[in-house]
A and B are shown apart, each in its own frame.
Chain A
Amino acid sequence: MNLDTRYALAAYAIGAVLLWGYALVSWLTLRRAHIRARISEPRMSESRP
């Protein structure tokens, strides 16, 4: 494999990892935020007079 092919592969690997990695991290964080919100919902309603 010549150097240019390696460079091209590196460029696509960087693009794919950054795009899909950021999408995955954002999706997981959003899921966690929703789960947290669902857990805190009954507590909030309990604390209401």
Chain B
Amino acid sequence: MRQRAGIWVSLFWLLTAGTFAAALLRVAWFTPEEATMGVIQKVFYLHLPVAINTFLACMVCFIGSVGYLTQRQSWWDDLAAAAAKVAVLLCSIVLLTGMIWAQSAWKTWWTWSPRLTFSLVLWLLYVVYLLIRASVESRQRRAVVSAVYGVLAFLDVPLVYLSVRLMRDIHPTSITMEPAMRLTLALWFVPVTLLTAALIVLRYRLNRAGRQAAAIPAQPAQPVALRLMGDAL
């Protein structure tokens, strides 16, 4: 059984690395340059999938927080904490790649446009989430405080998404793309989403291991799907 899980793990990482390499090759050699922006537009193929996965990680944190507040089971708290860490990582990549693109397209690293400001606020909100977790000593109190905060922090996600539609913004809303460009974008979603899922599961397993090492009895009500995913990674 364990050997079988090992094969699935290897296959998963092979698929992730393979699609990542294929997506890189496709961007470099098989995707045409956009007419007005030129080569710098290619940053978009990484920027957008990572941004969407940031929202997904924030949503997992939100679900974990709501789950903990309603059921008070420790694994919900561990899931929310894992997703928050991944959300900070992904949001950092979104901000950095966006800044690089802005320097080339707008000739400035940063501008306080609504989309950029709400994205920075999102990053700060989840950094503060992690700081709160690190600063509260009592495990139960930490779980409750961070769950309430995790629910509130998620409110910024729709603001980031809708800001370009509801407010005047310099940030592009949509780009006209040729079919080859659309295929590259679709291809990039595969490794980025797989990596996001893998990172959340890895961090979740680490949180569970940390809880067990601290000799606090783990809750047995962990769902079978998460346990199997954990074993597979």
Contact = CB atoms under 8 A, between A and B. Distances in A.
Nearest to A36: B213
A19 B209 contact: no
Contact of A4 (B40, B195, B203): B40
B25 to A, nearest CB: 12
Contacts of B39: 2, 4-5, 8
Interface string B32-43: 000000111011
B195 to A, nearest CB: 5
A15 B206 CA distance: 23
B213 A33 contact: yes
Interface in A1-49: 2-5, 7-8, 10-12, 14-16, 18-20, 22-23, 26-27, 29-30, 33-34, 36-37
B50 interface: yes
A8 B89 contact: no
B190 interface: no
Interface residues of B, number: 32
Contact residues of A: prevailing secondary structure: helix
A22 B199 CA distance: 8
A19 B57 CA distance: 14
A26 B203 contact: yes
Given A15-B97, A23-B195, A8 B202 contact: no
Given A15-B50, A23-B199, A8 B40 contact: yes
Interface stretch (B58-66, B99-107, B132-140): B99-107
A37 B192 CA distance: 31
Contact of A12 (B24, B89, B104, B199): B24
Contacts of B89: 18-19, 22
A14 B199 CA distance: 17
Given A14-B93, A19-B195, A26-B203, A7 B209 contact: no
A15 B104 contact: no
A11 B38 CA distance: 15
Contacts of B6: none
Nearest to A2: B39
19 contacts: A5-B39, A7-B100, A7-B103, A7-B104, A8-B43, A11-B97, A11-B101, A12-B27, A12-B46, A14-B100, A15-B93, A15-B97, A19-B93, A23-B195, A26-B202, A29-B206, A30-B205, A33-B209, A34-B209
Sort A-B residue pairs by CB-CB distance and give the 8 closest, nearest first.
A26-B202, A33-B209, A11-B97, A4-B40, A11-B43, A11-B100, A4-B39, A15-B46
Given A7-B40, A7-B103, A19-B93, 7 more contacts: A4-B39, A8-B100, A11-B46, A16-B24, A19-B195, A30-B206, A36-B213
